[in-house]
Structure 1
């Protein structure tokens, strides 16, 4: 889509709009600001599928009473280093942030902290939780399960979620942090929803339609199944997410998580979070120097034909974030209309945008 067809919102305007819209729908000011920060973080990193365009689907669930905007998660310690958060059907952002905060706090004393989250909801882009740990100087693992979208390898029905696996570690003296955030499917399902909203087609290797045929039509893809990356490898990763996030936590699993776009019943998502000090086995300076060597080796290795530059995991998104902080967050008219439609329902000021030519 041509840039001229895009509308742009500044980081500040997007955050203010999202905060006000959530607060007008019963979310506390503190929680609304946190959720808005996480959604805008996704937009800034170029993960448009998990940005502020998600708000209408979240608010539909709030209005239907299947997501409680006022719920307060509670934390129970299982051991000195392990805790469980019961989200009580609150926003996944709020419950998982509590879990990561506790894991980081515990890790400062014991070297590692772990938290499981049950009865939660979609928490957007996993990388924001990795960043939360990085801000505390921590390495991290972030798992979640999600609603069925993938077949297990050899199957044809939706059973496993397109559940992202994420992890991170501080970078070296002159290198960016390591941030991995990836789905076990060829593409994230949110990209299909984005293509549908924007009237775009999808690559034919992303999904199958209801008849099991490859399709470039996002609407047909949503009636079928996503395809796992690497065949049985991606399928096994999706099962792993269900084991650690769903089975272990006591949340829904084996296809039982409700789709975030389905406002008929609570989602009951589970998460699994680990924070770890990077200086457990050596001094912090030594660790960072070793990360520097790793980064330089990765980006400086000999390139295959046609490749101009090699990037460290998470680096492309960090570069995009710098650009979008400067130029604004790109949206299409349909997304702006949907957001402003929500604003009109509760009397919130409309999202401020500008065209590419302004």
Structure 2
């Protein structure tokens, strides 16, 4: 089914308000989920709501606590999310980072004691909207098996990078695993076989059944006890011969800049106690290096050359950002897609909180 984005936003704002978030925070949280759905990143859209609801119920997320700035210098800031939603702390931290980059050319922010923060690209676009180049990283629950390992240890560890270009910015936003864990949730809800080398079992054999894959990830990500083994594979797939150690390296870099730098938990240890993800946010002013319009023009020219390369029949050569901006335009007109299982979940939440549930267009 499809739902108007404005209707989805109204529903989400009402839900977060009923759950104890401030009006301002409810608006932000709704915006991050709607933004993901509009851009075709349904793994991080409204389908996350039931999970958020469970974490609020069990006290992992405390809506009334506000993030705090612990320390800052002209170019750096450290923020404590204070057990609230990752979106709220990351938005605060990126605003601080933008202020610093505007003044001294560069800003770096680290968030500790955080939570899931939606799509990383949301914060990179915050910087883009301020005329800056933006980067956002996060660690996650342990979902990813390192090269040749059979147990999950690393997070899917998203990395987003935005650079000004036309007709839309260059926007890379993706996991350092083959896919984000949320894509397995979506496939499970839809009953769709996994199409690629995304998940392996305890013997490192590729898993295609979405329910089996979701069970493997759930055990790895939420159990402090013995793992069944298996998990998401790193970029590069299942075999070392395809250089999956490079994907592992990317994921470790994110671990160092998030959990280690924030003095929080690395992904592997987020199952042992409190749910404390960490985030890293970075922005710089490209104007220091040259005229912003010239830089934008040169970036656009390079990207257009890539788009114009000879390609295999029936395919299209595209660059990161093309698909999500195309989906954004289409979904603003046609509404966002909501799968049946997710609709059941948001219907139950609406009934529980006495909130009108979005109807199909």
Q: TM-score, normalization: structure 2? A: 0.91
Q: What SS does the corresponding residue of 1:282 show, helix, strand or coil?
A: coil
Q: Corresponding residue for 1:58?
A: 52
Per-residue Cα deviation, 1:218-250 (whole angstroms, up to 9, x for no partner): 222231311111210111111111100110011
Q: Corresponding residue for 1:103?
A: 97
Q: What SS does the corresponding residue of 1:148 show, helix, strand or coil?
A: coil
Cα separation, 2, equivalents of 1:353 and 1:254: 38
CA shift at 1:257, angstroms?
2.2
Q: Corresponding residue for 1:297?
A: 305
Superposed counterparts of 1:162-173, under 5 Å: 162-172=156-166
Cα separation, 1, equivalents of 2:188 and 2:210: 6
Shift in alpha-carbon separation, 1:297–1:103, aligned structure 2, 3 A:
same
Given candidates 27, 31, 34, the residue that maps to 2:25 is 31
State yes or no: 1:202 paired with 2:194.
yes
Cα separation, 1, equivalents of 2:352 and 2:149: 43
Q: Corresponding residue for 2:294?
A: 286
Cα separation, 2, equivalents of 1:152 and 1:215: 16
Q: What SS does the corresponding residue of 1:341 show, helix, strand or coil?
A: helix
Shift in alpha-carbon separation, 1:265–1:326, aligned structure 2, 3 A:
farther
Kept in 2, the 8 Å contact 1:184–1:234? The answer is yes
Given candidates 319, 322, 341, the residue that maps to 2:329 is 322
Q: Corresponding residue for 1:4?
A: none
Superposed counterparts of 1:170-209, under 5 Å: 170-172=164-166, 175-209=167-201
Given candidates 109, 119, 125, the residue that maps to 2:119 is 125
Number of residue pairs the alignment of both structures matches: 340
Q: Corresponding residue for 2:234?
A: 228
CA shift at 1:308, angstroms?
4.3
State yes or no: 1:342 paired with 2:349.
yes
Cα separation, 2, equivalents of 1:212 and 1:296: 40
Cα separation, 2, equivalents of 1:129 and 1:257: 23
CA shift at 1:204, angstroms?
4.7
Q: What SS does the corresponding residue of 2:69 show, helix, strand or coil?
A: strand
Which stretch has the larger CA shift, 199-208 or 311-320? Answer: 199-208
Given candidates 315, 339, 351, the residue that maps to 2:358 is 351
Given candidates 258, 261, 264, the residue that maps to 1:251 is 264
Cα separation, 2, equivalents of 1:170 and 1:160: 31
State yes or no: 1:266 paired with 2:279.
no
State yes or no: 1:238 paired with 2:251.
yes
Q: Corresponding residue for 2:140?
A: 146
Cα separation, 2, equivalents of 1:130 and 1:268: 22
Q: Which runs of 5+ in 1 are unaligned?
A: 1-6, 259-263
Q: Corresponding residue for 2:224?
A: none
Q: Which runs of 5+ in 2 are unaligned?
A: 217-229, 237-243
Kept in 2, the 8 Å contact 1:66–1:265? The answer is no
CA shift at 1:62, angstroms?
0.2
Cα separation, 2, equivalents of 1:203 and 1:288: 36
Q: What SS does the corresponding residue of 1:196 show, helix, strand or coil?
A: helix
State yes or no: 1:116 paired with 2:110.
yes
Kept in 2, the 8 Å contact 1:81–1:112? The answer is yes
Q: Which runs of 4+ in 1 moved over 6 A?
A: none
CA shift at 1:265, angstroms?
5.6
Kept in 2, the 8 Å contact 1:88–1:120? The answer is yes
Cα separation, 1, equivalents of 2:278 and 2:75: 19
Q: What SS does the corresponding residue of 2:143 show, helix, strand or coil?
A: strand
Shift in alpha-carbon separation, 1:309–1:112, aligned structure 2, 3 A:
same
Cα separation, 2, equivalents of 1:265 and 1:68: 16
Cα separation, 1, equivalents of 2:54 and 2:279: 23
Kept in 2, the 8 Å contact 1:24–1:348? The answer is no
Q: What SS does the corresponding residue of 2:304 show, helix, strand or coil?
A: helix
Kept in 1, the 8 Å contact 2:127–2:283? The answer is yes
Cα separation, 1, equivalents of 2:10 and 2:302: 39
CA shift at 1:275, angstroms?
0.9
